[in-house]
C-alpha cells in the first residue's frame, strides 16, 4: 500500500508545483509596467521646466483682473516672480515682496500706470507695466440741473429778472456775467439781475476733481420804443 501511495504523492506535488509556476509567470506578465507615451503630459513637463527650471530671473505674471473701473471701485493687482532678490512697484503699494503669486487691492482715482520691477541675484532687472483706467460715475459728476427765469418785474425805467438754479455735486458755483460772487458747495439759489440789454448768463459748477458743467439762460430786454 505504501509503495502505491508514494508515487501518487510525488506526482501530485509535481502537478501542483507546475500549475503554481504557470500562474506565477502569468501574474508577472500582467503586472509588468508598460510604457505609454503621453504627448500632452510631456508638453506640460517641458513647459514647467522651461518656466521654473534654471536660475534666470523671470516675471511670471503681472496683471489686473479688471483693467477698467468706475471711480470709487476697487480691484486687485496680481504678480509673481521667480529667482528674484527683490521687487518693487510704481506707484508704491504696501506689502510688495518676492512671491510666486501675490495679489494686492487697489482703488485708483484716475487712470494709473503700474510698473513692476524685479531684481535678480545676478544683478539683472526685469520690468513689466500695464494701465488701469477709471471712468467717472455719472451720478457723482457736477451738473446744473435747472437754470430758469422765475419772474419778470417791470420797474420804472428798467426790467428786473428773478432767476433760479439747481445743481448737483457742486463744490464751486460761478456765473458770468457777474451777478454774484463765487459760491462754495451748494445745491442752488435765486438771484435778481437787471441788465440794460439782452444778456446771456452762464452758470458753471465745478466738482472737487475740477470737472465742470455749465448751463446758459438768455434774458430779453426790449429795446427803446421808437
DSSP readout, 179-206?
SS--B-SEEEEEEEE--SS-EEEEEEEE
Nearest to 60, CA basis, from 75, 76, 77, 78: 78
- Bridge partners of 77, per DSSP, are 104
Could you tell me the CATH number of the domain that includes residue 85? 2.60.40.2470
The Cα–Cα gap between 133 and 113 comes to 9
pTM: 0.58
Q: Are residues 102 and 174 in the same domain?
A: no
Could you give the maximum distance between any two Cα atoms of the chain, in Å? 162
Question: Are 72 and 129 contained in the same domain?
Answer: yes
CB atoms within 10 A of CB 207: 19
Q: Which residues constitute the domain of residue 114? A: 53-135
* Rounded distance between C-alpha atoms, residue 96 and residue 78, angstroms: 10
pLDDT tens by residue, 179-219: 999 998 888 999 999 999 999 999 999 998 899 999 999 99
Q: How far is CA 192 from the centre of its chain?
A: 49
For residue 42, being part of any structural domain is answered with no
Q: Is 167 in the same domain as 191?
A: yes
As a whole number of angstroms, the distance between CA 68 and CA 166 comes to 32
8 A C-beta contact, residue 96 and residue 104: yes
Place of cell 420804443: 225
Average pLDDT, the chain: 83
Domain stops at, among 135, 164, 187: 135
| Tens of each residue's pLDDT in the chain, 226 residues | 444 444 434 344 444 454 454 444 544 444 444 455 677 766 666 676 666 667 899 999 999 999 899 988 999 999 999 999 999 999 999 999 999 999 999 999 899 999 999 999 999 999 999 999 999 888 889 999 999 999 999 877 789 999 999 999 999 999 999 999 999 888 899 999 999 999 999 999 999 889 999 999 999 998 776 5
Domains of the chain: total: 2
Strand, coil or helix: 26: helix
- Residues 196, 148 share a domain: yes
Tell which of 135, 152, 182 closes a domain.
Answer: 135
Amino acid at each position: 500500500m505504501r509503495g502505491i501511495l508514494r508515487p501518487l504523492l510525488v506526482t501530485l506535488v509535481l502537478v501542483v508545483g507546475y500549475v503554481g509556476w504557470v500562474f506565477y509567470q502569468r501574474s508577472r506578465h500582467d503586472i509588468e509596467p508598460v510604457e505609454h507615451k503621453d504627448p500632452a503630459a510631456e508638453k506640460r513637463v517641458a513647459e514647467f521646466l522651461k518656466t521654473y527650471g534654471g536660475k534666470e530671473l523671470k516675471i511670471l505674471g503681472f496683471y489686473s483682473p479688471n483693467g477698467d473701473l468706475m471711480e470709487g471701485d476697487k480691484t486687485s493687482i496680481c504678480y509673481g516672480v521667480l529667482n528674484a532678490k527683490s521687487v518693487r512697484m510704481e506707484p508704491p503699494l504696501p506689502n510688495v515682496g518676492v512671491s510666486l503669486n501675490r495679489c494686492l487691492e487697489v482703488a485708483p482715482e484716475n487712470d494709473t500706470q503700474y510698473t513692476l520691477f524685479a531684481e535678480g541675484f545676478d544683478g539683472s532687472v526685469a520690468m513689466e507695466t500695464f494701465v488701469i483706467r477709471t471712468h467717472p460715475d455719472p451720478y457723482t459728476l457736477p451738473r446744473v440741473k435747472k437754470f430758469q427765469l422765475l419772474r419778470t418785474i417791470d420797474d420804472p425805467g428798467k426790467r428786473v429778472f428773478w432767476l433760479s438754479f439747481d445743481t448737483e455735486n457742486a463744490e464751486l458755483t460761478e456765473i458770468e456775467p457777474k451777478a454774484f460772487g463765487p459760491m462754495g458747495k451748494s445745491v442752488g439759489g435765486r438771484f435778481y439781475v437787471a441788465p440794460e440789454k439782452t444778456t446771456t448768463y452762464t452758470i458753471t459748477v465745478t466738482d472737487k476733481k475740477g470737472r465742470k458743467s455749465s448751463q446758459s439762460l438768455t434774458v430779453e430786454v426790449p429795446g427803446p420804443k421808437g
